[in-house]
Amino acid sequence: MRIERAMLADLARGAGFLGSGGGGDPYYSLLLAEAALKRRGPVELIPLSSLVDDALVVPCGWIGAPTVSVEKLPNGREAVAGLRRLETILGRRIDAVLPIEIGGGNGLAPFVAAADMGVPVVDCDGMGRAFPESQMAIFNIRGLSACPSVVTASCGALTVIETDDNLAHERIARSLSVALGGIAHMVEYPLSGAQARAHAIAGSVSAAIATGAAIREARAARQDPFEALAEALRATGLYPHCKTLFDGKIVDLERETRGGFSVGNVIIDGFGGQGRMEIEFQNENLIARQDGRIRAMVPDLITIMDRETADTITTERLKYGQRVKVVAAAAPAMLREESALRFVGPRAFRLGTDFIALENLDTAETK
């Protein structure tokens, strides 16, 4: 599939939803990707199954607090600088790139590098959504190394990380992002084609494009964009369950930038006597409670959207008085496996509960 400039807006809209509130606001990544494709032409999106065993495939994306990313702009060369240094370290050319996470601005990040380097983007990612920490990628869950890894910043700083401990890698990279102003670009988890085929979450980029297109087309036809969103997600096969949890107005918000993350909670008063919903977030929305009862939790997706346009409102864009709908979707199946829940389930975020799937929560007694 050839990704033209006009398709990037659909990708941004779909990736915004899949970010579950995080991954960075897609707006600036969209501008960078559109500029790159204007300079270099369309980018090829290739299926995961097409990779040969010995291909060198590299995920990339941004690390840091989304609250900083809306104020501290990139220079547009961070991704290529990191990838070129990795080529020097490994002694070979990179064959393809992919998003470390499909969610938010990180879903578009590889397209900038792909256009400038003349390589394709693989239709897959490492999280099936966005998560706040690097070790939450499926590649770490499946036992692969994040290193060698390269962190680059808008000021031109470049740092190579070498460690055999992926949690240590996250801590080092997070500290670097703070020292570099709160946001940086990271190249990590270099993969062979065989490793990518075995472990990456296939089809997530095209799923984001299809989801974004469904919302756009529904709005143009004056149809319900939330129904279109749910139908498009189910059609991907990756996100088989989707529903609107809540409809209301934001009445309180606590948010701070701490330790390289945007953390806090938002309270929404429901329309029509629905009660009140509270959502906790760490870059991404983690758990939604309605009048104390859990309605959705990680790794399933929880996204706050404008109730009229179905535009995603990322955690750094939340404001008092916004009228919103809260939409939840089932995470890809491999994120719900027991081995994955150790890294991305509610207890990994100290939420004090075991994971219950979105589709089962209506019948479960949860507090």
For the stretch 166-200, pLDDT in tens is 999 999 999 999 999 888 999 999 999 999 999 99
How many separate domains does the chain show? 2
Q: What is the pLDDT averaged over residues 144-153? A: 97
Q: For the full predicted model, state whether its pTM sits above 0.85.
A: yes
| pLDDT computed for residue 335 by the predictor | 97
Task: For 22-37, write each residue's pLDDT tens digit.
Answer: 988 898 899 999 999 9
Domain boundary (188, 204, 220) is at 204
- 222 belongs to a structural domain: no
| Structure tokens, 241 | 């369950």
The residue range of the domain holding 323 is: 239-363
* Per-residue pLDDT tens over the stretch 62-90: 998 777 766 777 888 999 999 999 999 99
pLDDT for the residue numbered 363:
59
Q: Quick one: average pLDDT of 265-288?
A: 95
Residue 355 lies inside a defined structural domain of this protein: yes
Kindly state whether residue 75 falls inside one of the protein's structural domains.
yes
SS3 at position 52: coil
Contact 43, 37 (CB under 8 A): yes
Same domain, 125 and 172: yes
Residues 148, 194 share a domain = yes
What is the percent of the chain where pLDDT is above 70? 98
Q: Are residues 158 and 245 in the same domain?
A: no
| 173 and 276 fall within a common domain | no
**What's the rounded Cα separation, in Å, for the pair 216 and 227?**
12
| Higher per-residue confidence, 9 vs 364 | 9
Q: Which long-range contacts (C-beta less than 8 Å, at least 24 apart) are formed by 286-292?
A: 286/346, 286/349, 286/351, 287/346, 287/349, 287/351, 287/353, 288/245, 288/246, 288/326, 288/328, 290/245, 290/246, 292/367
Count of CB atoms within 10 A of residue 220's CB? 9
Under 8 Å CB-to-CB from 16, ≥6 apart: which residues?
23, 25, 26, 103, 104, 212, 311, 312, 314
Are 200 and 250 within one domain?
no
Rounded distance between C-alpha atoms, residue 260 and residue 144, angstroms: 24
Assign 343 a pLDDT band (cuts: 50, 70, 90): very high
Q: Is residue 233 part of a domain?
A: no
CA 61, 67, 71, 72 dihedral sign is: negative
- CA distance linking residue 144 with residue 280, whole number of Å: 30
Asked whether residue 284 falls in the same domain as residue 353, the answer is yes
The last residue of one of the domains, among 178, 204, 230, is: 204
Same domain, 249 and 357: yes
pLDDT-wise least confident of 91-105, 135-149, 249-263, 294-308:
249-263
pLDDT at 336: 97
Residue 312 DSSP code = B
Same domain, 200 and 245: no
Nearest to residue 139, comparing CAs of 44, 60, 238, 63? 60
Cα angle vertex 15, ends 173, 297, to 5°?
A: 75
Closest by Cα among 205, 202, 181 to 193: 202
- Mean pLDDT of the 148-163 span: 95
Contact assessment for residue 82 and residue 185, using Cβ atoms and an 8 Å cutoff: yes
- How many angstroms separate the CA atoms of 286 and 244, rounded? 16
- How far is it, in rounded angstroms, from Cα 287 to Cα 280? 6
Between the CA of residue 16 and those of 208, 209, 289, what are the distances in Å?
9, 11, 22
Mean pLDDT score of the chain: 94
Q: Does one domain contain both 112 and 39? A: yes
150, 161 contact by CB (below 8 A): yes
Structure tokens at 106: 């990180």
Same structural domain for residues 48 and 190?
yes
pLDDT at 28 (0 to 100): 87
Distance of CA 143 to the CA centre of its chain: 21
The answer to whether residue 218 is domain-embedded is no
**How confident is the model at residue 75, as a pLDDT?**
82
Pick from 204, 230, 252: which residue ends a domain?
204
Q: Is the pLDDT score of 364 beyond 60?
A: no
The dihedrals phi and psi of 287, each to the nearest 5 degrees, come to: -155, 140
* Residue 328 vs residue 27, higher pLDDT: 328
Give me the mean pLDDT over the 322-338 stretch.
Answer: 97
Q: Is residue 70 part of a domain?
A: yes
For residue 84, give the CATH number of its domain. Answer: 3.40.1610.10
Supply the pLDDT for residue 98: 98
Name the band, by pLDDT with cuts 50, 70 and 90, for residue 366: low
Q: How confident is the model at residue 365 (pLDDT cuts 50, 70, 90)?
A: low
What is the domain-level CATH number for residue 277?
A: 2.40.390.10
How far is the C-alpha of 240 from the C-alpha of 111, rounded, in Å? Answer: 27
Q: How many CB atoms lie within 10 A of CB 276?
A: 16
The answer to whether residue 341 is domain-embedded is yes
Cα–Cα distance for residue pair 59/96, rounded to 1 Å: 9
Report the alpha-carbon distance of residue 241 to residue 234 in Å, rounded. 6
Residue 331 lies in a domain: yes
The Cα–Cα gap between 83 and 114 comes to 10
Same domain, 354 and 264: yes
Cα 235 from Cα 207, distance rounded (Å): 9
Shared-domain flag, residues 243 and 200: no
